[in-house]
Amino acid sequence: MKKAVIYILIVLSNSVFAQLGGTKTYSFLDLPVPARSNALGGASMAIWDKDVNLGYSNPALLNPSMSKQLAFNYVNYVADLNYGNFLYAFQLKKYGTFAAGLQYFNYGKFDGRDEYDKETGTFKAADYSLNLAFAKTLDKDSTLSLGVALKTIYSHYEIYNSFGSAIDVGLTYHNKKQFTVSLLAKNYGKQWKPYSDNGPKENLPTDFQLGFSKKIPKAPFRIIFQYDQLLKWDLTYVNPQNQSGDIDPFTNKPIVKTAKQKRNDKIKTGLDKFGRHLVVGTEIILGKNFMIRIAYNFRKGKEMALPDVKKANGLSLGFGFKVYKFHLDYAYSKYALTGNSHTIGITTNLNYFNKASK
């Protein structure tokens, strides 16, 4: 019984996150963690701002204005799972901006039983990633920034554990007109120790992303676009529950289509494949201390949809505001009919307290 539960946990860690058919390990690395990122459907890798949480999404976004910022994010995920992170940034004038953080995913506590249904005690299951990041400007105008994040990964399910490492490399351009564009290679690395001593080493949830954001002049909002999986065009998968539209359900024979119908099907299929790469969002800026966010993740909406059930899967929204010396963020993400997540983030700058003590 206990071994069966462990097996389910390992499968869960590899497939619960809709990671291209569940073929990757350490899939928790691909989840957006900060509340700001969750509210934007994960599309926060191309926003130039003073928020240290952006440095988690893309290390190239780290900049001196984030120095001494401390952030904590907690996500109440689906099925009573939860995850989050801690993050702290500091500036070294001669070298650049550094950040250190810990990301975790907690599957909870389980009651172990043997094949005779006798209790063998409780055990826990969790994933961890220790992240160290660095960013530095590459030009005199400080418009081009390069960032690197190193991840040390540890996964533990009762007596089974695994080690791995990964790297993120980001390149970001921004200008005074508040236009930002970023390229990000994410989670490229290796599983050094598989869960089973004799088991195969699995691939990590790699991603190559392109994103940009633009603050509209004289308007209180920023538009955001992100294109995921640049190196993989077809993100669709075959769902055996869906009946093929090429077979007549009454005669069970292939449906003969005209050239126009075939052309329309090809266009529709192409648009569907393109859309699965996109996340579109906006931030409505209602002053220095209050912001509303909303986004739609097309792939999440497609993969989480149920037949004949029209729900806003893939939609996410949230807000952020400043109270005293703390910035509070909240995000709501719609995953499925009964699967929603809530994220809370708290960020502060230690310089606030140093000034107060003086």
Tell me the two tokens of residue 240: 């055996």
Residues in the chain: 358
Q: What is the pLDDT of residue 304?
A: 79
What is the average pLDDT across 139-159? 93
pLDDT at 8 over 80: no
Tell me the two tokens of residue 132: 């160290």
Q: How far apart are CA 61 and CA 59, in angstroms?
A: 5
CB atoms within 10 A of CB 297: 28
Query: Three-class SS of residue 41?
Result: coil
Q: How far apart are CA 180 and CA 173, in angstroms?
A: 6
Name the more confident of 300 and 70. 70
Instruction: For 99, list phi and psi in degrees, rounded to 5.
Output: -145, 145
Q: What is the pLDDT of residue 15?
A: 40
Q: What is the pLDDT of residue 143?
A: 93
Query: Three-class SS of residue 49?
Result: coil
What is the average pLDDT across 305-318? 78
Q: What is the pLDDT of residue 173?
A: 97
What is the average pLDDT across 278-283? 97
pLDDT in tens, 59-80: 999 999 999 999 999 999 987 7
pLDDT in tens, 128-144: 999 999 999 998 888 99
- Indicate the class that CATH gives domain 2-357: mainly beta
Domains of the chain by residue range: 2-357
Burial profile 203-231: b = 16 or more Cβ within 10 angstroms, e = fewer? ebbbbbbbbbbbbeeeeebbebbbebbee
Choose among 2, 1, 11: nearest CA to 195.
11
Of the candidate ranges 173-177, 186-190, 338-342, the one whose mean pLDDT is the lowest: 338-342
Q: What is the pLDDT of residue 230?
A: 94
Q: How far apart are CA 320 and CA 36, in angstroms?
A: 8
Of the candidate ranges 53-57, 146-150, 246-250, 294-298, the one whose mean pLDDT is the lowest: 246-250
For 257, what's the count of Cα atoms within 13 Å in the CB-facing half-sphere? 13
Q: Which helix (H) or strand (E) holds 11?
A: helix 2-15
pLDDT at 313 over 60: yes
pLDDT at 5 over 70: no
For the chain, the average pLDDT equals 86
Name the more confident of 256 and 330. 330
Q: What is the pLDDT of residue 249?
A: 63
User: What is the percent of the chain where pLDDT is above 70?
Assistant: 86
pLDDT in tens, 105-116: 999 888 887 787
pLDDT in tens, 81-111: 899 999 999 998 889 999 999 999 999 888 8
Q: Are 17 and 28 contacting, i.e. CB atoms less than 8 angstroms apart?
A: yes
What is the average pLDDT across 232-253? 68
Q: What is the pLDDT of residue 7?
A: 39
- pTM, two decimal places: 0.86
Q: What is the pLDDT of residue 16?
A: 42
pLDDT at 254 over 80: no
Counting runs of H as helices and runs of E as strands, what totals does the chain give? 6, 14
What is the average pLDDT across 31-59? 96
| DSSP conformation letters of 179-244 | EEEEEEEEEEEEEEE-SSTTSPPPPP--EEEEEEEEEPTTSSEEEEEEE--TT--------TTSPP
DSSP secondary structure letter of residue 33: -
Q: What is the pLDDT of residue 65?
A: 94
What is the average pLDDT across 238-245? 55
What is the average pLDDT across 332-340? 79
C-alpha distances in Å from residue 237, one per residue of 137, 242, 288, 336: 40, 11, 44, 18
**Cα dihedral: 117, 119, 120, 125 (round 10):** 90
- Predicted confidence band at 14 (pLDDT cuts at 50, 70, 90)? very low
